[in-house]
Chains A and B, each alone.
Chain A
Amino acid sequence: MSALRSERVDPNAPLLGVEHLTMRFGGLVAIDDVSFDAEDKKITAIIGPNGAGKTTVFNCLTGFYKPTVGRLTLNHPRKGPYLLERMEGYQIPQKAAVARTFQNIRLFSQMSVLENLIVAQHNKLMEASAFTFAGLFGLPRYRHAEAEAVELARYWLNRVGLEDRADWDAGNLPYGDQRRLEIARSMCTEPVLLCLDEPAAGLNPRESADLNRLLTFIRDEHNIGLLLIEHDMSVVMEISDHIVVLDYGRKISDGNPDEVRNDPAVIRAYLGEEEDEELPPEVAEDLASDKSDKR
């Protein structure tokens, strides 16, 4: 599972390079010329107010949207560079090994927890079952592959503390467990880049501390890059190595947590623009307090 860095095609290229990414929906510019890099073995956070375009960046990266303009390069440590914007949606996780989770959890809720993790290893198992024929006749090759898949699932279940509930229907898990299961499921695809869309949303402080530990564990022990969208600043500031700030689809800041925290542009974006002064003072005040609440 460790990255064989020596075989990497270009050892100096970042794991993910986003260049001039622009996404328009009709007249609406959701992302406007955004460029940033995400490194191997680092947690890169994308933050910004609601509607800033964070999820849209993920959707472009994982092939759900075709970017209007821009180049998205993923340098797979073993297999070389992929141009994500040219790939079919389902090929990005399959070939380029980019996995993601969703802002509103998307589990297979009527299937068991274990099955969720086995489905995540679909491509590997399909090959082992010789596209069903070997599986149909129960050949040993397939049986071994399935046992291995279960072992990988068990490993991640153990990591997220769900081993006991492996046979539950995923939909019956409490909310926090569902979030962690979704992370475990995307890790079962054995990605090189994991994109997490607000993994701490709706978690209580204890759960969110657990989440911090899980994410740093993934970064340190599995040597992959993480891309993290998060509103919870306690998570972001504590574990990120690098933060990208978006506002109205534009990148307004980029750097390590301390730099970003003290960047006047970021403070302005979160606390309100100067233009607010043109509004009646009460309204501006309301707006400002409203926005700061969201932090």
Chain B
Amino acid sequence: MSTTGASMSDTAARPLDLPAVVKECGLTALVMFALAVGMVAFYTEDVPGGLEIATRFGAVVAVTLLGFFGRLAIVLLREGRPFPVLVVALPFTVLMLVALLSLNFFDAETAETLKNYLPVGDVVVNWIVVIMAGVFTLRAFWALRHTGASAKTVVDREKAMDNFAARVQRASRFIGPLLLGIAVVFPLLAFFPDSPFVPKVDRRLLDIAILVVTYVMLGWGLNIVVGLAGLLDLGYVAFYAVGAYSYALLATHYDLGFWVCLPFAGLMAATAGIILGFPVLRLRGDYLAIVTLGFGEMIRVILLNWYEFTNGPDGISGIPRPTFFGLPFSRSASDGGETFHGFFGLTYSPIDRIIFMYYVILALALITNLFTLRIRKLPIGRAWEALREDEIACRSLGMNPRNTKLTAFSIGAMFGGFAGSFFATRQGFISPESFTFVESAVILAVVVLGGFGSQIGVVLAAIILIGLPEFFRELQQYRMLAFGAAMVLIMIWRPSGLLAHREPTIRLWRERDGGPPEKTQAAEESA
């Protein structure tokens, strides 16, 4: 099938190869049908006396038809015939929109019967269909308005995206502090009296913020391994787990505080990184990914089965909370000591502790970021990037590839360990269930979406992938679907990630007074 790479210029006059089009669309429909039969057609239903298998063949037909016509729209747009697409997609979009929106105006019973007339049983999926139809409509409209203008090639688009990312990166000199300012100030809004002008900051929002920042930190930590050193690590959660268990065990057995244990937890995770990395870092690419995936699972299985040590599936509870220089955030100190609110003469409020937690993870994340930015400009950081580019060339320059990779792996692991011990202290309870492969996948998704090596991209991706789903809790069951869709789109659209762009770590010519003036890279490339 020649479905890709057809250029859009001067295709308008070409006659449509009808059999080929039908074949292409039919094939898509067939794939959709096969998937739908497996995944949509049957489901179990609660009936009195047990479960019963129910069917929804209507949905299968709808999915198959949607596949066919969706592909047809893509083909027609590709062949430079937007008009029929517009004619079909516009009324379809409008009709569906009206139908979906009007659902809210009927009482529950009518709405329920009305839903039966929608192409797919579920309202959210219908919304997805509408959005796609809307996208087709807009693209067809755009194509009609701009006839003759040749479409951008893939290379052009990549260059434009890279320019954009470069601009963002340069602007991050301002965006960074701005974001930081917002991040620092926003929890304080919780103390603001209720007013219509200030967004309401409550416990739920703070919890989400803590979660997002935790993933930002994990993303930055993993970015050292994946983005800089180019080692695809699918078992990053193992180090997160080691950090969490190190803190939990040290704290519950030896009565040590969070701040004392934090360096130990990092050290333990880094050691785990070295132990795991030593035998496997000679592998490359996919092989390394598979082995790290295995190691990630091994750690989880060990935690699950080493009952005497880790308390197995029951997990560890009663993990102490961090203190503010020894001042606990509780209503009253257990051993008659001073509490945080008592010391500062405040009235006790449970949100104090949440805000404190937020600042702890923010500080940890910032340390990770500063460390990464700094080490990128040091010989070891450059060596990591060089290893990612060409290991053989590195060896020929006298670099020890194994040790260099090990440092990247263990330093990345160390930050994972820090984040892990924060996780333990925040939750107060940990069990192996928190450290499944999905967790690794989510962290990796944050890095991939944000852009390998892009610090600000990771923040953006964490907000999109972690923050938004938390806000739209009702859509929780579609979270993995959205994840998958986001990954597929990014792979098609920009495999290096949304904001991936690499600035040299050192320059011979300063950017502004631009060295040899007319010979900048951009100028010569566009020439």
Residues of chain A having any CB pair with chain B under 8 Å: 62-64, 89-94, 99-100, 102, 106-112, 114-115, 118-120, 122-123, 125-126, 129, 131-132, 135-136, 146, 150, 153-154, 157, 163-169, 172, 185-186, 189
Which residues from A are CB-within-8-Å of B116?
Answer: none
Cβ of B397 to closest chain A Cβ, rounded Å: 5
Of B382, B389, B397, B525, most buried by chain A (CB within 10 Å of CB) is B397
Which residues from B are CB-within-8-Å of A168?
Answer: 521
Contact of B516 with A90 in the complex, beta carbons under 8 Å: no
Contact of A172 with B508 in the complex, beta carbons under 8 Å: no
The contact of B393 among A108, A154, A165, by CB within 8 Å, is: A108
Chain B residues 473-527 with CB under 8 Å of chain A are 502, 504-509, 515-516, 519, 521, 525
Contact of A110 with B396 in the complex, beta carbons under 8 Å: no
Which residues from A are CB-within-8-Å of B389?
Answer: 107-111
Cβ of B231 to closest chain A Cβ, rounded Å: 16
Flag whether B24 is at the interface (Cβ < 8 A).
Answer: no
Not counting A106-B390, A111-B386, A146-B506, a sample of 18 additional A-B residue pairs whose C-beta atoms are within 8 angstroms of each other reads A90-B400, A92-B398, A94-B398, A100-B396, A107-B393, A108-B385, A109-B389, A109-B390, A110-B502, A111-B504, A115-B382, A115-B385, A122-B379, A122-B383, A150-B508, A166-B507, A166-B515, A168-B521
With A110-B389, A126-B379 as contacts: A154 and B506 at CB distance below 8 Å: no
With A109-B389, A111-B386, A164-B516 as contacts: A62 and B509 at CB distance below 8 Å: no
Which residues from A are CB-within-8-Å of B509?
Answer: 166-167
Instruction: Kindly report which residue of chain A lies nearest to residue B383, judged by CB atoms.
Output: A122
The contact of B396 among A102, A114, A115, A153, by CB within 8 Å, is: A102
Whole-angstrom CA separation of A189 from B400 in the bound complex? 14
Q: What are 21 of the A-B contact pairs (CB < 8 Å)?
A: A64-B392, A90-B394, A90-B401, A99-B397, A108-B393, A112-B507, A115-B505, A115-B506, A119-B382, A122-B397, A131-B380, A132-B380, A136-B375, A150-B506, A150-B508, A164-B519, A165-B521, A166-B508, A166-B515, A167-B504, A172-B525
> How many residue pairs, one in A and one in B, have C-beta atoms under 8 Å apart?
129
Whole-angstrom CA separation of A129 from B509 in the bound complex? 24
Instruction: Kindly report which residue of chain B lies nearest to residue A138, judged by CB atoms.
Output: B374
Flag whether B157 is at the interface (Cβ < 8 A).
Answer: no
Flag whether B395 is at the interface (Cβ < 8 A).
Answer: yes
With A122-B379, A164-B516 as contacts: A62 and B396 at CB distance below 8 Å: yes
Instruction: Kindly report which residue of chain A lies nearest to residue B518, judged by CB atoms.
Output: A164
Residues of chain B having any CB pair with chain A under 8 Å: 371, 374-375, 378-380, 382-383, 385-386, 389-390, 392-401, 502, 504-509, 515-516, 519, 521, 525
Instruction: Kindly report which residue of chain B lies nearest to residue A92, judged by CB atoms.
Output: B398
Cβ of B227 to closest chain A Cβ, rounded Å: 12
The contact of B398 among A93, A109, A114, A153, by CB within 8 Å, is: A93
The contact of A135 among B379, B396, B401, B502, by CB within 8 Å, is: B379
Whole-angstrom CA separation of A126 from B400 in the bound complex? 12
Cβ of B384 to closest chain A Cβ, rounded Å: 10
Which residues from B are CB-within-8-Å of A163?
Answer: 508
Instruction: Kindly report which residue of chain A lies nearest to residue B371, judged by CB atoms.
Output: A136
Whole-angstrom CA separation of A92 from B516 in the bound complex? 38
Instruction: Kindly report which residue of chain A lies nearest to residue B379, judged by CB atoms.
Output: A125
Which residues from B are CB-within-8-Å of A90?
Answer: 394-395, 398-401
Of A114, A115, A123, A189, most buried by chain B (CB within 10 Å of CB) is A115
Instruction: Kindly report which residue of chain A lies nearest to residue B511, judged by CB atoms.
Output: A167
Cβ of B465 to closest chain A Cβ, rounded Å: 26
Whole-angstrom CA separation of A92 from B400 in the bound complex? 11
Cβ of B514 to closest chain A Cβ, rounded Å: 9
Which residues from B are CB-within-8-Å of A92?
Answer: 398
Instruction: Kindly report which residue of chain B lies nearest to residue A131, judged by CB atoms.
Output: B380
Cβ of A88 to closest chain B Cβ, rounded Å: 8
Contact of A136 with B374 in the complex, beta carbons under 8 Å: yes
